[in-house]
Structure 1
Amino acid sequence: MKNKLKKMLSTNIALKVVSLFLAFLLWLVVSNSQNAIQTKSVKVDINYTNEEALQDAGYIVTSRQTSIVITVEVRKNDYYKVTADNFVATADLSKHMGEDLSSQLVKVQVETTGEEENVIKNWNYPKDGPWITVKMDELQTKEMEVELVQTGAVDNSYVLNKEGLTMEPQTVTVSGPKSEFGSLTAVKAQVDLAQFSPENTEMTLPLALYDANNNVIESENLILDPSQVVVRAGVKQLKEVGITFEGVSGEPGAGYGYSQISCDTTTIALAGLKASLAEISSITIPKDALDITGATQTIERDIDITSYLPDGVEVYSNNVITVEIVIEKLETKTYQVPESQINWIGKLDQYGYHIASGEVSVELRAFEEDLDGLDVSQIQLNADVSGLGVGTHTVVFIVNVSDAFSVVEQPTARLQVTLSKDSNSSVSSSEISSEKEEVDDTENITNSTSSSESSSNQEQESSKQEDLDETKSQESSSQDNSSRETVSDDENTSSK
């Protein structure tokens, strides 16, 4: 068996070698046909260098080619392994400074990164660099103020500080080609006030360039530095409260009074922290702020209410209010107050108290309108009768009436004190005698003046009285005695 195999391998050796070579060629042809070399286009971005040096020289690129296309030969199986990352395209702008820069051909250097280089069979781009066109212009720089455009409004329950919005920075630098500055008129930032609240008081806003027609300028060559601003707003709670007055101080001129206080506004808007505003329901203007001493006509006062506000609260609207104090002339009027409207202080049940005239005259001073509108039933009188016994007395009354009225003169009247018919109390003769003596003393004091005045007349008539008939004198004497006896009998009867 071994001899047969050895014989088969050793015979026709040349033929066998040729067959093996042909088989290899066949495999190679088939293999190449399935993994053939293909062409691929790769787009590579251009990296421009030394652009700062160009700007330092006073120029800027206005138009440039951003990429180049490289043709690459690669096997079919490696087609997707080759990308733009396998190449670097560089254009050095500094090599063309000093020449006519309005339009320049700039050389682009292309290199491979080394990655997947073994799969790249060939790439078609001039190794010494292609040339591309770059347009340039004079570089212009301008500092411009930022205009803040406000839109919307804060919520009705909030308010911005009086200082308004603050913006930082307020100016920016715009740089770019000189040819594009002709249409530039403004740099603006737009802020929506509705976005502000006590919790959100700061926003960062982008900037935009505008032309004279208020249209946004879309340009990649005009560069803003910085490109955005920070806007801050102090947001406080808003609350409307009423204005009240304690009254006035001082007294107006004689015969005048103030009828009312009016103000040019009834409410005022306050701004502050929520906790501070919660403690305020109204603003009260004290009396000292409204002095009417000696006034005889209507006066006006401008009041700054900031001094009446607590810390942390400010006036959102006008902080000065105008107050009008109406001064009018006072009139007088006399009212007849009936006895039924008198309160007897200290009265005793066994006595009856009656005004001789049945009513008391009360003179009041007030504005004419108030006097006309006052009904006599609205006047009450008080009189202290404690200690007054049977007889006639002069009493002084205290007048109770609305504060709108003043008493011209404290009223008085003659009071008759009598024993009450319905009284079951007994009064001793000594008490009645004492009370009569008090009444007699009062009447004697009252009559003393008239007695002294008539003394001279009595002296003149005395001579005539001496000439009277002696009999008449005796009769008169007997009549006096009988009269005294009658009075004594009456007293005894009353005592019993």
Structure 2
Amino acid sequence: MKEKLLNNLSLKLAAIVCAFLVWLGVVNVANPSKTITREIPVTIVNAEVLEQANMTYEVIGKSTATISFKAKTKDEYKIKSEDFYASADIAEMYDVTGAIPITVRVVSHEDLIESGPTVRSPEVIRIQTEPLQTKEFALKAYPQGTVEGGYQAGGVTMRPDTVTVKGPQSLIGQISSVGIEFDVDGADADVSGQATPGFYDANGNALEMDESVKLLSGDVAYTMRVLQLKEIPLNFIVAGNVAEGFRFVGAETTVPAITVAGTNAAVTALSEIRIQNPALNVEGARSDVTTEVDISSYLPAGLTVTGLDNTVIPVTLKVEPLEEKSFTVRTSDISLIGESSVYSYGVEAGNVEVTVRGLAEDVEGLTVSSMRPTADVGGIASGTHQIKVVLTLPENCVQTGNTDVTVHIRERNAQTEGETAASESAEESVPEESSTEAPSEAETAEGQT
């Protein structure tokens, strides 16, 4: 019998199951008490005591505490960390170590807790105090993105334009600037909105600050102007007359045009920038005149120069000597203008000399055919006349001296009568064919007559 009981596996398993059921029945009937622990946050109270002394604090180490309490086994799952409130009163701080005792109380399910709660670890919370600083910062704008092509981000107005920050001195010292960020990507008109200020270090990087650093104001309203860009040519107004035999040929500069930024209306209305400065003067000059002008002072109100490091630009007023060149013109190449049908005209054969003055590069490119020499015979009566030869020249060249050509003018009727008389005279002077018979005395007398 004994061996049967000891060697029977099924009986052993049945015994274990029965024992568990008996234990479970006892637990369910007895529901014994047990010690339970929870980890709960610790709240610092009466912090205004430090603030009134212009001080603030920072928790050193853990900011939670482990508590213990007794409750029925079946009630353990019902009791949460949120059912307790742990606090540390600044007024009870030990100044030497900065230790504050932790107290805990039940805020919910108090009927389920048999004893406690008590603080197990740590029994105190430690804080470190430091001076509290209040500092005012001028707000800065940090636009994000790029405006539309052909436009430029302009000035930003903010309301308010300053903010006051309060917090631990060590954290306030890390703040280099306070500003707002807003999106301007693709903007082609003014951008407006509201934004919450953020903190930035000396390199413009955003700083993450804890709740101990506070802004003593709300959001900031902003408006950023978006300005249109336009390239405008410079027109230099030069005064004075160069010396005799020289010519002012133009102003040269490394910046013939500038890009300006402004409102659409202001930019559209501007076609050139006229620069009239006392320094732009070539009076009596025999060589180039070099000077400098500040172009910013000639811009209309509301426009600014963009893309230049310096608005003072060099200007060279170019002065070059004039040269004279003579040309030999055949009189047959001279065209008559102003002819009348009443007269016939004849230009006396030969050559005439004409002289042209201008810049070397202009004079060298001239030819007789390109100058198209003419003589104006309009309104002139018959006779032999000296008519001035006139050249058709480029704007930068002039004809010097007077060159005349001899023109014979005759009335066409007089010319015709003369030609007829000459023709008849020629016919009479031609001898008749010889005859074998001698002329009679009567014929001889008639011929003499």
Tell me the TM-score normalized by structure 2.
Answer: 0.66
Deviation at 1:83, TM superposition (A): 2.5
Whole-angstrom CA distance in 2 between matches of 1:204 and 1:103: 35
**What is the 5 A alignment of 1:353-364?**
353-364=345-356
Cα 1:403/1:378, change in 2 over 3 Å:
same
Counterpart selection for 1:240 from 219, 223, 231: 231
Counterpart selection for 2:56 from 60, 66, 70: 60
Deviation at 1:412, TM superposition (A): 2.7
Deviation at 1:325, TM superposition (A): 1.6
Counterpart selection for 1:122 from 108, 114, 122: 114
Structure 2 SS opposite 1:427: helix
Tell me the TM-score normalized by structure 1.
Answer: 0.61
Cα 1:360/1:294, change in 2 over 3 Å:
same
Query: Could you tell me which residue of structure 2 aligns to residue 141 of structure 1?
Result: 133
Query: Could you tell me which residue of structure 2 aligns to residue 51 of structure 1?
Result: 47
**What is the 5 A alignment of 1:191-206?**
197=187, 198-200=189-191, 204-206=196-198
Whole-angstrom CA distance in 1 between matches of 2:288 and 2:345: 47
Q: Determine if contact 1:167/1:232 at 8 Å carries over to the other structure.
A: no
Residues 1:371 and 2:370 are matched in the alignment: no
Counterpart selection for 1:427 from 400, 409, 413: 413
Query: Could you tell me which residue of structure 2 aligns to residue 283 of structure 1?
Result: 272
Structure 1 SS opposite 2:128: strand
> Partner letter of residue 296 of structure 1?
R
Cα 1:79/1:348, change in 2 over 3 Å:
same
Richer in strand (by share):
2
1:313-364 CA distance string (max 9 Å, x none): 3222344433212112223222233445544232135644333254443222
Query: Could you tell me which residue of structure 2 aligns to residue 469 of structure 1?
Result: none
Counterpart selection for 1:100 from 72, 95, 98: 95
Cα 1:40/1:342, change in 2 over 3 Å:
farther
Cα 1:187/1:168, change in 2 over 3 Å:
farther
Whole-angstrom CA distance in 2 between matches of 1:191 and 1:37: 58
Structure 1 SS opposite 2:272: strand
Query: Could you tell me which residue of structure 2 aligns to residue 8 of structure 1?
Result: none
Whole-angstrom CA distance in 2 between matches of 1:164 and 1:297: 49
Aligned residues between the structures: 392
Whole-angstrom CA distance in 2 between matches of 1:101 and 1:36: 45
Query: Could you tell me which residue of structure 1 aligns to residue 80 of structure 2?
Result: 83
Greater Rg by CA? 1
> Partner letter of residue 385 of structure 1?
V
Structure 2 SS opposite 1:400: coil
Whole-angstrom CA distance in 2 between matches of 1:241 and 1:415: 55
Q: Determine if contact 1:176/1:221 at 8 Å carries over to the other structure.
A: no
Richer in helix (by share):
1
1:113-164 CA distance string (max 9 Å, x none): 3x4333x14242249xx94132333425374868979899856644344x79
Deviation at 1:304, TM superposition (A): 4.3
Whole-angstrom CA distance in 1 between matches of 2:249 and 2:190: 49
Q: Determine if contact 1:107/1:132 at 8 Å carries over to the other structure.
A: yes
Deviation at 1:69, TM superposition (A): 3.2
Whole-angstrom CA distance in 2 between matches of 1:286 and 1:174: 53
Q: Determine if contact 1:337/1:379 at 8 Å carries over to the other structure.
A: no
Deviation at 1:268, TM superposition (A): 1.5
1:263-292 CA distance string (max 9 Å, x none): 122331211235654565x63547898553
Q: Determine if contact 2:275/2:298 at 8 Å carries over to the other structure.
A: no
Structure 1 SS opposite 2:42: strand
Whole-angstrom CA distance in 2 between matches of 1:209 and 1:255: 67
Q: Determine if contact 1:300/1:323 at 8 Å carries over to the other structure.
A: yes
> Partner letter of residue 370 of structure 1?
D
Cα 1:303/1:415, change in 2 over 3 Å:
farther
Query: Could you tell me which residue of structure 2 aligns to residue 315 of structure 1?
Result: 305
Q: Determine if contact 1:169/1:229 at 8 Å carries over to the other structure.
A: no
Whole-angstrom CA distance in 2 between matches of 1:223 and 1:158: 38
Whole-angstrom CA distance in 2 between matches of 1:208 and 1:73: 51
Cα 1:285/1:301, change in 2 over 3 Å:
farther
